[in-house]
Amino acid sequence: MEPAGMVAPLVVVSGDGFSGWLALNDTIMGGRSSGVCRIGPEGLVLEADVVEQGGGFVSCRSPLFSPPLNLGDYRALQLELRGDGRRYKLAVACADGVAGLTELIPGGLRWVAEFDTSVSAPDQPPQRVEIPFAQLRASVRARPLNLPLRFDPGRVTRLQVLHSKFGDDGQLNAGFRAGPLQLSLVAVRAVP
């Protein structure tokens, strides 16, 4: 039982709750990377072969949350994962709060933040990565938007985990590596 006024962490997705997550790779823009999302014993597994030329990204994204998730009582998302030493990106989509404009932007407005992973051995506990909402940057197709927009945690419509040659600042991702990769996402929680 939480003390009065305290909010308990909220499991957004875990285990077989990842069913419905699908791969979205650079092939949508002419790239040659291949990646699949599958449900494994612990949750979601992204297995991919990343090709830098012509694109340079692979990802798994959730189905649309309908109604949108209201995470207004929380300050961050926590990812529980088994990584491979690469630098990834979390992208969060929100229901439009800007008079319908975000859905008119090709590729959509996303709120993104990069995170590092360590190489996880099967006998070790999963790594936990916390991404405060305050660190999310408005972005369209890996390009930061320098507009006075604020992230609205009360209207989250989709989550996506990416490995991309571009970081959340639009510059090259120093933790990018082409070739085979595997990332296991055990759970996503909202934390106070």
Quote the pTM value. 0.86
Q: Could you tell me if residue 1 is inside a domain?
A: no
Mean pLDDT computed over 96-116: 69
Domain that holds residue 45: 10-191
How many separate domains does the chain show?
1
Of 85-89, 114-118, 121-125, the poorest mean pLDDT is in 121-125
**Range scoring the smallest mean pLDDT among 63-72, 105-114, 124-133:** 105-114
Please say if the pLDDT value at position 104 is more than 80.
no
Residue 177 lies in a domain: yes
Supply the CATH number for residue 104's domain: 2.60.120.430
Least confident interval from 57-61, 85-89, 100-104: 100-104
How far from 136 is each of 5, 9, 155, 168, 178, CA to CA, in Å?
A: 26, 19, 14, 9, 25
Is residue 3, in this structure, part of any structural domain at all? no
| Sequential DSSP letters for 80-125 | EEEB-S-EEEEEEEE---STT-GGGSTT--EEEEEEE--BPPTTSP
In a domain, 2, yes or no: no
Is 148 buried (19+), middle (13-18) or exposed (0-12) by CB count in 10 A?
exposed
Residue-averaged pLDDT of the chain: 86
Specify the 3-state DSSP secondary structure of 64. Answer: coil
Residue 4 domain-assigned (yes or no): no
Q: What is the pLDDT of residue 165?
A: 86
Q: What are phi and psi of 31, to 5 degrees?
A: -75, 180
